[in-house]
Amino acid sequence: MASTILDSVMGSIGGSVPLGKSSQGYVMALDAGTTSVRAVLFDEYGCRVAQAQRSLTMLYPHPGWVEQDPVEILSRQIACMIEVQFKSGIHSDRIKSVGITNQRETVVVWDRRTGQPIYNAIVWQCRRTAPLVEELVERGYADLIRERTGLVPDAYFSATKIRWILDNVEGAREMADAGALMCGTIDTWLIYNLTHGLVHATDYTNASRTMLFDIKKLDWDDELCNIVGVPRSMLPECRPSAGGFGRVSSDIMTQHPPIAGVAGDQQASLFGHCCFEPGNVKNTYGTGCFMLMNVGTEPIFSQNGLVTTVGIADGTEVDYALEGSVFQAGSTIQWIRDELGLVETAAETSDIARSVPNTDGCYLVPAFTGLGAPWWNSDARGVVCGITRATNRARLVRAACESLAYQSYDVLKAMEADSGHSIPSLSADGGAARNEFIMQFQADLLDIEVVRAELSETTALGAAYLAGLATGFWADREELQTITAHSAIYVPGMEQTTREQLLAGWHEAVRRTLM
Ligand code: ADP
Protein backbone atom coordinates (compact mmCIF):
# COMPACT_ATOMS: atom_id res chain seq x y z
CA MET A 1 0.00 0.00 0.00
CA ALA A 2 1.34 3.42 -0.93
CA SER A 3 2.08 5.96 1.72
CA THR A 4 -0.49 8.61 2.54
CA ILE A 5 -1.08 11.02 5.35
CA LEU A 6 -4.42 9.44 6.21
CA ASP A 7 -3.23 7.94 9.50
CA SER A 8 -2.12 11.26 10.91
CA VAL A 9 -5.25 13.00 9.64
CA MET A 10 -7.48 10.32 11.18
CA GLY A 11 -5.55 10.53 14.43
CA SER A 12 -6.41 14.20 14.68
CA ILE A 13 -10.12 13.63 13.86
CA GLY A 14 -10.67 10.68 16.17
CA GLY A 15 -11.71 7.44 14.47
CA SER A 16 -14.57 6.12 12.38
CA VAL A 17 -18.27 5.73 12.85
CA PRO A 18 -20.15 2.68 14.16
CA LEU A 19 -22.44 0.74 11.83
CA GLY A 20 -26.12 1.69 11.43
CA LYS A 21 -29.02 -0.77 11.28
CA SER A 22 -31.27 -0.46 8.24
CA SER A 23 -30.37 -1.52 4.71
CA GLN A 24 -32.06 1.48 2.98
CA GLY A 25 -29.59 2.98 0.57
CA TYR A 26 -28.04 6.42 0.28
CA VAL A 27 -25.34 8.04 -1.82
CA MET A 28 -22.81 10.37 -0.24
CA ALA A 29 -21.56 13.32 -2.28
CA LEU A 30 -18.37 15.11 -1.30
CA ASP A 31 -18.43 18.71 -2.52
CA ALA A 32 -14.94 20.10 -2.15
CA GLY A 33 -15.55 23.74 -3.08
CA THR A 34 -13.24 26.73 -2.91
CA THR A 35 -14.47 28.25 0.32
CA SER A 36 -15.88 25.15 2.02
CA VAL A 37 -16.09 21.38 1.86
CA ARG A 38 -19.31 19.44 2.40
CA ALA A 39 -20.54 15.88 2.67
CA VAL A 40 -24.15 15.46 1.58
CA LEU A 41 -26.36 12.36 1.81
CA PHE A 42 -29.00 11.79 -0.87
CA ASP A 43 -31.76 9.19 -0.83
CA GLU A 44 -33.11 7.30 -3.85
CA TYR A 45 -35.44 10.21 -4.74
CA GLY A 46 -32.46 12.54 -5.06
CA CYS A 47 -33.55 14.32 -1.87
CA ARG A 48 -30.87 15.75 0.39
CA VAL A 49 -31.33 14.11 3.79
CA ALA A 50 -28.29 15.39 5.68
CA GLN A 51 -25.25 17.56 5.21
CA ALA A 52 -22.11 18.57 7.08
CA GLN A 53 -19.96 21.52 6.08
CA ARG A 54 -16.60 23.02 7.09
CA SER A 55 -15.07 26.23 5.81
CA LEU A 56 -11.58 26.39 4.33
CA THR A 57 -8.81 28.90 4.98
CA MET A 58 -7.65 30.97 2.01
CA LEU A 59 -4.00 31.98 2.04
CA TYR A 60 -2.74 35.08 0.22
CA PRO A 61 1.06 35.00 0.60
CA HIS A 62 1.59 37.75 -2.03
CA PRO A 63 -0.74 40.07 -3.96
CA GLY A 64 -2.44 37.95 -6.63
CA TRP A 65 -1.35 34.64 -5.10
CA VAL A 66 -3.98 32.27 -3.69
CA GLU A 67 -3.18 29.07 -1.83
CA GLN A 68 -4.81 26.52 0.49
CA ASP A 69 -3.45 23.85 2.81
CA PRO A 70 -4.07 20.44 1.15
CA VAL A 71 -4.04 18.69 4.55
CA GLU A 72 -6.75 21.06 5.80
CA ILE A 73 -8.86 20.31 2.72
CA LEU A 74 -8.48 16.57 3.33
CA SER A 75 -9.00 16.59 7.08
CA ARG A 76 -12.06 18.87 6.91
CA GLN A 77 -13.53 16.78 4.12
CA ILE A 78 -13.09 13.62 6.21
CA ALA A 79 -14.52 15.38 9.27
CA CYS A 80 -17.65 16.19 7.17
CA MET A 81 -17.92 12.55 6.06
CA ILE A 82 -17.88 11.39 9.66
CA GLU A 83 -20.11 14.15 10.99
CA VAL A 84 -22.85 13.64 8.41
CA GLN A 85 -23.08 9.97 9.40
CA PHE A 86 -23.33 10.82 13.10
CA LYS A 87 -25.81 13.62 12.52
CA SER A 88 -28.17 11.58 10.36
CA GLY A 89 -27.73 8.21 12.06
CA ILE A 90 -27.10 6.85 8.56
CA HIS A 91 -23.89 4.89 8.75
CA SER A 92 -21.63 3.42 6.17
CA ASP A 93 -23.46 0.10 5.79
CA ARG A 94 -26.33 2.06 4.24
CA ILE A 95 -24.18 4.27 2.03
CA LYS A 96 -23.92 2.50 -1.30
CA SER A 97 -21.42 4.73 -3.03
CA VAL A 98 -19.55 8.01 -2.82
CA GLY A 99 -19.33 10.75 -5.46
CA ILE A 100 -16.82 13.61 -5.53
CA THR A 101 -17.14 17.06 -7.03
CA ASN A 102 -14.56 19.74 -6.55
CA GLN A 103 -13.20 23.19 -7.27
CA ARG A 104 -11.48 22.74 -10.61
CA GLU A 105 -7.91 23.58 -11.75
CA THR A 106 -6.48 23.86 -8.21
CA VAL A 107 -3.43 21.58 -7.91
CA VAL A 108 -1.50 19.67 -5.27
CA VAL A 109 1.96 18.11 -5.71
CA TRP A 110 3.05 15.46 -3.22
CA ASP A 111 5.89 13.07 -2.44
CA ARG A 112 5.15 9.61 -3.82
CA ARG A 113 7.01 7.99 -0.90
CA THR A 114 5.54 9.85 2.08
CA GLY A 115 2.29 11.20 0.64
CA GLN A 116 3.20 14.65 2.05
CA PRO A 117 2.46 17.70 -0.13
CA ILE A 118 5.65 19.52 -1.10
CA TYR A 119 3.85 22.87 -1.35
CA ASN A 120 0.41 24.35 -0.62
CA ALA A 121 -2.39 23.79 -3.11
CA ILE A 122 -2.25 26.55 -5.72
CA VAL A 123 -5.84 27.69 -6.14
CA TRP A 124 -7.50 28.34 -9.52
CA GLN A 125 -7.81 32.07 -8.77
CA CYS A 126 -4.03 32.44 -8.37
CA ARG A 127 -2.42 34.69 -11.03
CA ARG A 128 1.25 33.97 -10.25
CA THR A 129 1.84 32.01 -13.43
CA ALA A 130 0.57 34.71 -15.82
CA PRO A 131 4.18 35.30 -17.06
CA LEU A 132 4.59 31.56 -17.77
CA VAL A 133 1.41 31.63 -19.85
CA GLU A 134 2.58 34.75 -21.70
CA GLU A 135 5.80 32.92 -22.50
CA LEU A 136 3.85 29.96 -23.94
CA VAL A 137 1.83 32.34 -26.10
CA GLU A 138 4.98 34.17 -27.23
CA ARG A 139 6.54 30.84 -28.16
CA GLY A 140 3.53 30.37 -30.48
CA TYR A 141 1.69 27.59 -28.66
CA ALA A 142 -1.74 29.26 -28.28
CA ASP A 143 -3.28 27.50 -31.27
CA LEU A 144 -1.88 24.10 -30.30
CA ILE A 145 -3.24 24.50 -26.77
CA ARG A 146 -6.60 25.50 -28.13
CA GLU A 147 -6.80 22.63 -30.63
CA ARG A 148 -5.77 19.94 -28.19
CA THR A 149 -7.33 21.13 -24.92
CA GLY A 150 -10.22 23.38 -26.05
CA LEU A 151 -8.91 26.09 -23.70
CA VAL A 152 -7.68 29.62 -24.19
CA PRO A 153 -4.19 29.67 -22.57
CA ASP A 154 -4.54 31.13 -19.07
CA ALA A 155 -2.92 31.02 -15.65
CA TYR A 156 -6.29 29.89 -14.30
CA PHE A 157 -5.73 26.33 -15.56
CA SER A 158 -3.55 23.76 -13.73
CA ALA A 159 -0.60 23.23 -16.08
CA THR A 160 1.54 26.25 -15.29
CA LYS A 161 0.75 25.96 -11.58
CA ILE A 162 2.37 22.51 -11.49
CA ARG A 163 5.29 23.84 -13.47
CA TRP A 164 5.70 26.70 -10.97
CA ILE A 165 5.95 24.28 -8.04
CA LEU A 166 8.59 22.24 -9.88
CA ASP A 167 10.57 25.41 -10.62
CA ASN A 168 10.30 26.99 -7.18
CA VAL A 169 10.33 24.27 -4.53
CA GLU A 170 13.86 23.19 -3.74
CA GLY A 171 14.68 19.77 -5.18
CA ALA A 172 11.25 19.38 -6.79
CA ARG A 173 12.42 19.26 -10.39
CA GLU A 174 14.97 16.51 -9.63
CA MET A 175 12.34 14.53 -7.72
CA ALA A 176 9.85 14.92 -10.57
CA ASP A 177 12.41 13.76 -13.13
CA ALA A 178 13.19 10.74 -10.94
CA GLY A 179 9.47 9.85 -10.75
CA ALA A 180 9.31 10.62 -7.02
CA LEU A 181 6.42 13.15 -7.20
CA MET A 182 2.71 12.83 -7.88
CA CYS A 183 0.21 15.56 -8.64
CA GLY A 184 -3.44 16.09 -9.16
CA THR A 185 -6.42 18.35 -8.89
CA ILE A 186 -8.46 18.26 -5.65
CA ASP A 187 -10.51 15.22 -6.75
CA THR A 188 -7.26 13.29 -7.27
CA TRP A 189 -5.83 14.42 -3.93
CA LEU A 190 -8.98 13.26 -2.14
CA ILE A 191 -9.25 9.96 -4.02
CA TYR A 192 -5.58 9.15 -3.36
CA ASN A 193 -5.91 9.73 0.35
CA LEU A 194 -9.39 8.28 0.83
CA THR A 195 -8.21 5.04 -0.82
CA HIS A 196 -5.04 5.02 1.28
CA GLY A 197 -2.88 5.59 -1.78
CA LEU A 198 -4.29 2.77 -3.89
CA VAL A 199 -5.76 4.94 -6.64
CA HIS A 200 -4.07 7.86 -8.38
CA ALA A 201 -6.76 8.92 -10.83
CA THR A 202 -8.85 11.82 -12.09
CA ASP A 203 -11.90 12.03 -14.32
CA TYR A 204 -12.12 13.46 -17.83
CA THR A 205 -13.95 16.62 -16.75
CA ASN A 206 -11.30 17.62 -14.23
CA ALA A 207 -8.52 16.62 -16.62
CA SER A 208 -10.04 18.84 -19.31
CA ARG A 209 -9.35 21.91 -17.12
CA THR A 210 -5.61 21.30 -16.72
CA MET A 211 -4.41 22.50 -20.16
CA LEU A 212 -2.51 19.21 -20.53
CA PHE A 213 -5.39 16.98 -21.65
CA ASP A 214 -6.30 16.09 -25.23
CA ILE A 215 -10.08 16.36 -25.16
CA LYS A 216 -10.50 14.24 -28.30
CA LYS A 217 -8.13 11.40 -27.38
CA LEU A 218 -9.23 11.62 -23.73
CA ASP A 219 -5.69 11.31 -22.45
CA TRP A 220 -2.73 13.46 -21.45
CA ASP A 221 -0.96 15.06 -24.37
CA ASP A 222 2.75 14.22 -24.35
CA GLU A 223 3.70 17.18 -26.49
CA LEU A 224 1.95 19.65 -24.18
CA CYS A 225 3.47 17.98 -21.11
CA ASN A 226 6.90 18.54 -22.68
CA ILE A 227 6.17 22.10 -23.72
CA VAL A 228 4.89 23.10 -20.27
CA GLY A 229 7.57 21.05 -18.47
CA VAL A 230 5.39 18.65 -16.47
CA PRO A 231 6.60 15.01 -16.53
CA ARG A 232 3.77 12.70 -17.45
CA SER A 233 4.83 10.29 -14.70
CA MET A 234 3.43 12.73 -12.11
CA LEU A 235 -0.02 12.80 -13.62
CA PRO A 236 -2.96 10.63 -12.54
CA GLU A 237 -4.74 8.12 -14.72
CA CYS A 238 -7.75 9.61 -16.57
CA ARG A 239 -11.08 7.81 -16.27
CA PRO A 240 -14.76 8.44 -17.13
CA SER A 241 -16.72 10.31 -14.44
CA ALA A 242 -18.92 7.34 -13.55
CA GLY A 243 -17.04 4.17 -12.68
CA GLY A 244 -14.40 2.80 -10.35
CA PHE A 245 -12.11 5.09 -8.35
CA GLY A 246 -11.37 2.60 -5.55
CA ARG A 247 -13.02 2.34 -2.16
CA VAL A 248 -13.08 4.70 0.80
CA SER A 249 -10.69 3.39 3.45
CA SER A 250 -12.44 1.51 6.24
CA ASP A 251 -10.74 3.89 8.69
CA ILE A 252 -13.26 6.50 7.56
CA MET A 253 -16.28 4.45 6.52
CA THR A 254 -16.39 0.97 8.01
CA GLN A 255 -18.05 -0.65 5.01
CA HIS A 256 -15.61 1.09 2.64
CA PRO A 257 -18.11 2.04 -0.12
CA PRO A 258 -16.85 2.56 -3.67
CA ILE A 259 -15.95 6.01 -4.95
CA ALA A 260 -17.96 5.71 -8.14
CA GLY A 261 -18.53 9.25 -9.46
CA VAL A 262 -16.14 12.15 -9.97
CA ALA A 263 -16.64 15.46 -11.81
CA GLY A 264 -15.48 19.06 -11.65
CA ASP A 265 -18.04 21.37 -10.00
CA GLN A 266 -19.51 22.97 -13.12
CA GLN A 267 -19.78 19.67 -14.97
CA ALA A 268 -21.33 17.98 -11.92
CA SER A 269 -23.89 20.78 -11.91
CA LEU A 270 -24.59 20.18 -15.63
CA PHE A 271 -25.22 16.52 -14.79
CA GLY A 272 -27.31 17.36 -11.72
CA HIS A 273 -29.55 19.46 -13.96
CA CYS A 274 -29.90 16.47 -16.34
CA CYS A 275 -28.61 18.52 -19.28
CA PHE A 276 -28.15 15.34 -21.31
CA GLU A 277 -29.16 16.63 -24.76
CA PRO A 278 -27.24 18.92 -27.12
CA GLY A 279 -28.47 22.48 -26.58
CA ASN A 280 -29.29 21.93 -22.89
CA VAL A 281 -27.77 24.69 -20.78
CA LYS A 282 -27.38 25.36 -17.10
CA ASN A 283 -26.53 28.68 -15.52
CA THR A 284 -25.33 28.94 -11.93
CA TYR A 285 -26.04 32.43 -10.57
CA GLY A 286 -23.48 32.86 -7.80
CA THR A 287 -20.81 35.50 -7.20
CA GLY A 288 -20.23 35.12 -10.94
CA CYS A 289 -22.41 33.23 -13.41
CA PHE A 290 -21.19 29.94 -14.82
CA MET A 291 -22.84 28.60 -17.94
CA LEU A 292 -22.30 25.26 -19.61
CA MET A 293 -24.02 24.08 -22.78
CA ASN A 294 -24.04 20.43 -23.78
CA VAL A 295 -22.97 20.45 -27.47
CA GLY A 296 -23.06 16.70 -28.09
CA THR A 297 -20.45 14.09 -28.89
CA GLU A 298 -18.18 16.28 -31.04
CA PRO A 299 -16.27 19.20 -29.51
CA ILE A 300 -17.15 22.64 -30.90
CA PHE A 301 -14.53 25.36 -30.86
CA SER A 302 -15.83 28.82 -30.10
CA GLN A 303 -15.52 31.94 -32.24
CA ASN A 304 -16.46 34.07 -29.23
CA GLY A 305 -13.80 33.24 -26.68
CA LEU A 306 -15.79 30.52 -24.92
CA VAL A 307 -13.87 27.41 -23.90
CA THR A 308 -14.57 23.81 -24.81
CA THR A 309 -14.49 21.17 -22.11
CA VAL A 310 -15.56 17.60 -21.50
CA GLY A 311 -19.11 18.13 -20.23
CA ILE A 312 -20.44 14.69 -19.36
CA ALA A 313 -18.55 11.40 -19.31
CA ASP A 314 -20.88 9.03 -17.48
CA GLY A 315 -19.50 5.92 -19.13
CA THR A 316 -21.84 5.56 -22.08
CA GLU A 317 -20.46 8.40 -24.18
CA VAL A 318 -18.61 11.67 -23.87
CA ASP A 319 -20.58 14.87 -24.35
CA TYR A 320 -18.61 18.06 -24.84
CA ALA A 321 -19.64 21.43 -23.47
CA LEU A 322 -19.10 25.08 -24.27
CA GLU A 323 -18.37 27.03 -21.13
CA GLY A 324 -18.69 30.74 -20.49
CA SER A 325 -18.91 32.92 -17.45
CA VAL A 326 -19.95 36.34 -16.25
CA PHE A 327 -17.40 37.83 -13.85
CA GLN A 328 -19.74 40.15 -11.89
CA ALA A 329 -23.12 38.70 -11.06
CA GLY A 330 -24.10 38.24 -7.39
CA SER A 331 -21.09 40.44 -6.66
CA THR A 332 -22.99 43.33 -8.31
CA ILE A 333 -25.76 42.82 -5.78
CA GLN A 334 -23.13 42.84 -3.03
CA TRP A 335 -21.75 46.07 -4.48
CA ILE A 336 -25.07 47.94 -4.39
CA ARG A 337 -25.54 46.63 -0.85
CA ASP A 338 -22.08 47.20 0.63
CA GLU A 339 -20.61 50.08 -1.39
CA LEU A 340 -23.72 52.04 -2.41
CA GLY A 341 -25.86 51.10 0.60
CA LEU A 342 -28.98 50.87 -1.62
CA VAL A 343 -30.25 47.73 0.14
CA GLU A 344 -29.63 45.97 3.42
CA THR A 345 -29.89 42.42 2.13
CA ALA A 346 -29.55 40.72 -1.24
CA ALA A 347 -32.91 39.04 -0.63
CA GLU A 348 -34.87 42.31 -0.69
CA THR A 349 -33.66 43.28 -4.19
CA SER A 350 -36.33 41.19 -5.91
CA ASP A 351 -39.28 43.02 -4.36
CA ILE A 352 -37.62 46.41 -4.78
CA ALA A 353 -36.95 45.69 -8.47
CA ARG A 354 -40.56 44.65 -8.94
CA SER A 355 -41.87 47.80 -7.28
CA VAL A 356 -41.18 49.74 -10.50
CA PRO A 357 -42.37 48.71 -13.97
CA ASN A 358 -38.97 49.32 -15.60
CA THR A 359 -35.70 51.21 -15.15
CA ASP A 360 -36.91 53.99 -17.44
CA GLY A 361 -33.89 53.61 -19.70
CA CYS A 362 -31.27 53.34 -16.94
CA TYR A 363 -28.62 50.59 -17.29
CA LEU A 364 -25.87 49.39 -14.98
CA VAL A 365 -22.99 47.53 -16.66
CA PRO A 366 -20.81 46.06 -13.88
CA ALA A 367 -17.56 45.85 -15.89
CA PHE A 368 -15.59 46.31 -12.66
CA THR A 369 -12.65 44.28 -13.90
CA GLY A 370 -13.25 44.44 -17.64
CA LEU A 371 -15.70 42.49 -19.76
CA GLY A 372 -15.62 38.75 -20.44
CA ALA A 373 -17.40 36.71 -23.12
CA PRO A 374 -18.31 37.65 -25.75
CA TRP A 375 -16.65 41.09 -25.52
CA TRP A 376 -13.27 40.23 -23.95
CA ASN A 377 -12.02 43.65 -23.03
CA SER A 378 -9.95 43.92 -19.88
CA ASP A 379 -9.80 47.74 -20.12
CA ALA A 380 -13.57 48.19 -20.00
CA ARG A 381 -14.91 49.76 -16.80
CA GLY A 382 -18.41 49.88 -15.39
CA VAL A 383 -21.05 52.48 -16.26
CA VAL A 384 -24.45 53.59 -15.05
CA CYS A 385 -26.12 55.37 -17.95
CA GLY A 386 -29.49 56.72 -19.01
CA ILE A 387 -29.96 58.53 -15.72
CA THR A 388 -32.95 60.90 -15.69
CA ARG A 389 -34.84 62.77 -12.96
CA ALA A 390 -37.01 59.62 -12.67
CA THR A 391 -34.02 57.48 -11.69
CA ASN A 392 -34.37 56.46 -8.06
CA ARG A 393 -33.26 53.76 -5.66
CA ALA A 394 -35.72 51.17 -6.95
CA ARG A 395 -34.75 51.75 -10.58
CA LEU A 396 -31.04 51.47 -9.75
CA VAL A 397 -31.64 48.25 -7.82
CA ARG A 398 -33.65 46.97 -10.75
CA ALA A 399 -30.85 47.92 -13.17
CA ALA A 400 -28.38 45.97 -11.01
CA CYS A 401 -30.63 42.88 -10.98
CA GLU A 402 -31.23 43.16 -14.71
CA SER A 403 -27.46 43.22 -15.35
CA LEU A 404 -27.19 39.55 -14.31
CA ALA A 405 -29.77 38.59 -16.90
CA TYR A 406 -28.38 40.80 -19.69
CA GLN A 407 -24.84 39.52 -19.22
CA SER A 408 -26.04 35.90 -19.16
CA TYR A 409 -28.11 36.62 -22.28
CA ASP A 410 -24.99 37.72 -24.17
CA VAL A 411 -23.04 34.57 -23.22
CA LEU A 412 -25.97 32.28 -24.05
CA LYS A 413 -26.42 33.91 -27.46
CA ALA A 414 -22.70 33.37 -28.12
CA MET A 415 -23.18 29.71 -27.24
CA GLU A 416 -26.09 29.45 -29.65
CA ALA A 417 -24.05 31.09 -32.39
CA ASP A 418 -21.05 28.81 -31.82
CA SER A 419 -22.99 25.58 -31.52
CA GLY A 420 -25.86 26.08 -33.95
CA HIS A 421 -28.20 24.78 -31.23
CA SER A 422 -31.03 26.94 -29.99
CA ILE A 423 -31.58 26.70 -26.27
CA PRO A 424 -34.95 25.07 -25.51
CA SER A 425 -35.03 26.17 -21.86
CA LEU A 426 -32.52 27.31 -19.27
CA SER A 427 -31.78 25.40 -16.04
CA ALA A 428 -30.84 27.72 -13.18
CA ASP A 429 -29.31 27.35 -9.74
CA GLY A 430 -27.02 29.27 -7.36
CA GLY A 431 -27.67 31.86 -4.63
CA ALA A 432 -28.91 34.66 -6.91
CA ALA A 433 -31.34 32.26 -8.65
CA ARG A 434 -33.49 32.72 -5.54
CA ASN A 435 -34.27 36.18 -6.91
CA GLU A 436 -37.72 35.85 -8.52
CA PHE A 437 -37.35 39.08 -10.44
CA ILE A 438 -34.05 38.05 -12.04
CA MET A 439 -35.43 34.65 -13.04
CA GLN A 440 -38.54 36.16 -14.65
CA PHE A 441 -36.53 38.87 -16.41
CA GLN A 442 -34.13 36.20 -17.73
CA ALA A 443 -37.04 34.19 -19.14
CA ASP A 444 -38.47 37.36 -20.72
CA LEU A 445 -35.16 38.38 -22.32
CA LEU A 446 -34.39 34.92 -23.72
CA ASP A 447 -38.04 34.22 -24.60
CA ILE A 448 -37.68 30.69 -23.20
CA GLU A 449 -38.64 29.04 -19.92
CA VAL A 450 -36.20 29.29 -17.04
CA VAL A 451 -36.38 26.25 -14.78
CA ARG A 452 -34.98 26.67 -11.29
CA ALA A 453 -33.70 23.54 -9.58
CA GLU A 454 -35.18 22.37 -6.30
CA LEU A 455 -31.82 22.43 -4.55
CA SER A 456 -30.33 25.89 -4.54
CA GLU A 457 -27.33 24.32 -6.24
CA THR A 458 -27.06 21.00 -7.95
CA THR A 459 -23.32 20.38 -7.87
CA ALA A 460 -23.41 17.81 -5.07
CA LEU A 461 -26.50 16.20 -6.58
CA GLY A 462 -24.64 15.74 -9.88
CA ALA A 463 -21.77 13.95 -8.11
CA ALA A 464 -24.29 11.71 -6.33
CA TYR A 465 -26.07 10.97 -9.62
CA LEU A 466 -22.78 9.88 -11.23
CA ALA A 467 -21.86 7.62 -8.30
CA GLY A 468 -25.39 6.20 -8.10
CA LEU A 469 -25.54 5.48 -11.83
CA ALA A 470 -22.21 3.68 -11.79
CA THR A 471 -23.31 1.36 -8.97
CA GLY A 472 -26.89 0.66 -10.15
CA PHE A 473 -28.45 2.71 -7.33
CA TRP A 474 -30.25 4.51 -10.16
CA ALA A 475 -30.90 2.59 -13.37
CA ASP A 476 -30.27 5.14 -16.09
CA ARG A 477 -30.47 8.78 -17.16
CA GLU A 478 -34.26 8.46 -17.61
CA GLU A 479 -34.68 7.58 -13.96
CA LEU A 480 -32.60 10.61 -12.98
CA GLN A 481 -34.82 12.81 -15.13
CA THR A 482 -37.94 11.53 -13.35
CA ILE A 483 -36.63 12.20 -9.86
CA THR A 484 -35.03 15.59 -10.57
CA ALA A 485 -37.22 18.20 -8.91
CA HIS A 486 -37.80 21.81 -9.96
CA SER A 487 -38.77 24.53 -7.55
CA ALA A 488 -40.14 26.96 -10.11
CA ILE A 489 -40.61 27.49 -13.82
CA TYR A 490 -40.59 31.05 -15.18
CA VAL A 491 -42.57 31.48 -18.39
CA PRO A 492 -41.64 34.33 -20.75
CA GLY A 493 -44.27 37.03 -21.11
CA MET A 494 -42.55 40.01 -22.72
CA GLU A 495 -43.53 41.62 -26.02
CA GLN A 496 -40.93 41.17 -28.75
CA THR A 497 -40.69 44.93 -29.37
CA THR A 498 -40.04 45.61 -25.66
CA ARG A 499 -37.35 42.93 -25.62
CA GLU A 500 -35.66 44.42 -28.67
CA GLN A 501 -35.73 47.93 -27.22
CA LEU A 502 -34.30 46.80 -23.90
CA LEU A 503 -31.52 44.80 -25.54
CA ALA A 504 -30.64 47.66 -27.87
CA GLY A 505 -30.33 49.93 -24.83
CA TRP A 506 -28.18 47.37 -23.01
CA HIS A 507 -25.80 46.94 -25.93
CA GLU A 508 -25.47 50.70 -26.23
CA ALA A 509 -24.59 50.79 -22.52
CA VAL A 510 -22.01 48.01 -23.03
CA ARG A 511 -20.50 50.02 -25.87
CA ARG A 512 -20.01 52.93 -23.48
CA THR A 513 -17.92 50.79 -21.12
CA LEU A 514 -15.42 50.33 -23.92
CA MET A 515 -14.77 54.05 -24.39
P1 ADP B 1 -20.89 31.36 -4.58
O2 ADP B 1 -21.12 29.88 -4.66
O3 ADP B 1 -20.34 31.99 -5.82
O4 ADP B 1 -20.20 31.82 -3.32
P5 ADP B 1 -23.75 31.53 -4.04
O6 ADP B 1 -24.34 30.60 -5.04
O7 ADP B 1 -23.77 31.14 -2.61
O8 ADP B 1 -22.33 32.03 -4.51
O9 ADP B 1 -24.53 32.94 -4.18
C10 ADP B 1 -24.12 34.06 -3.47
C11 ADP B 1 -24.24 35.31 -4.33
O12 ADP B 1 -25.60 35.47 -4.72
C13 ADP B 1 -23.83 36.57 -3.60
O14 ADP B 1 -23.01 37.33 -4.46
C15 ADP B 1 -25.14 37.29 -3.32
O16 ADP B 1 -24.99 38.68 -3.47
C17 ADP B 1 -26.08 36.75 -4.38
N18 ADP B 1 -27.45 36.59 -3.87
C19 ADP B 1 -27.86 35.81 -2.86
N20 ADP B 1 -29.19 35.90 -2.69
C21 ADP B 1 -29.64 36.75 -3.64
C22 ADP B 1 -30.92 37.27 -4.01
N23 ADP B 1 -32.03 36.89 -3.38
N24 ADP B 1 -30.96 38.12 -5.05
C25 ADP B 1 -29.86 38.49 -5.72
N26 ADP B 1 -28.63 38.04 -5.41
C27 ADP B 1 -28.51 37.19 -4.40
pTM of the model as a whole: 0.90
Predicted pLDDT of residue 64 = 85
DSSP state of 211: T
Q: Are 374 and 405 in contact (CB under 8 A)?
A: no
Nearest CA to ligand 1 atom 9: 431
Buried b (16+ CB within 10 A) or exposed e, 43-55: beebeeebbbebe
Q: What does pLDDT average to in each consecutive run of 10 residues of the chain (515 residues)?
A: 60 45 75 92 92 93 92 97 92 92 96 96 91 94 95 92 97 96 98 96 97 96 96 96 94 92 96 94 92 95 92 89 92 94 96 97 92 84 94 97 98 95 93 95 97 83 96 93 88 97 97 87
Torsional class of 296: left (φ above 0), alpha (ψ -120 to 50), beta (otherwise)? left
Atom of ligand 1 nearest to the CA of 330: 14
Pocket of ligand 1 (CB under 6 A): 286-287, 330-331, 333-334, 346-347, 349-350, 430-432, 434-435, 457
Predicted pLDDT of residue 345 = 96
Dist. CA 284 → ligand 1 center (Å): 10
127: Cβ contacts below 8 Å, ≥ 6 apart: 64, 65, 155
Predicted pLDDT of residue 7 = 60
Best CA proximity match to 254, nearest among 91, 467, 457: 91
DSSP secondary structure, 4-45, as one string? -SHHHHHHHHT--PPP-S----EEEEEEE-SSEEEEEEE-TT
Predicted pLDDT of residue 14 = 46
Tell how strand 425-429 and strand 281-285 pair up: parallel
Nearest CA to ligand 1 atom 8: 286
Dist. CA 456 → ligand 1 center (Å): 10
Atom of ligand 1 nearest to the CA of 456: 6
Predicted pLDDT of residue 198 = 95
Coil vs helix vs strand at 370: strand
- SS3 helix, strand, coil % of the chain, rounded to 5? 35, 25, 40
Predicted pLDDT of residue 22 = 37
CA angle 73-75-80, nearest 5°?
A: 95
Dist. CA 73 → ligand 1 center (Å): 23
Nearest CA to ligand 1 atom 27: 432
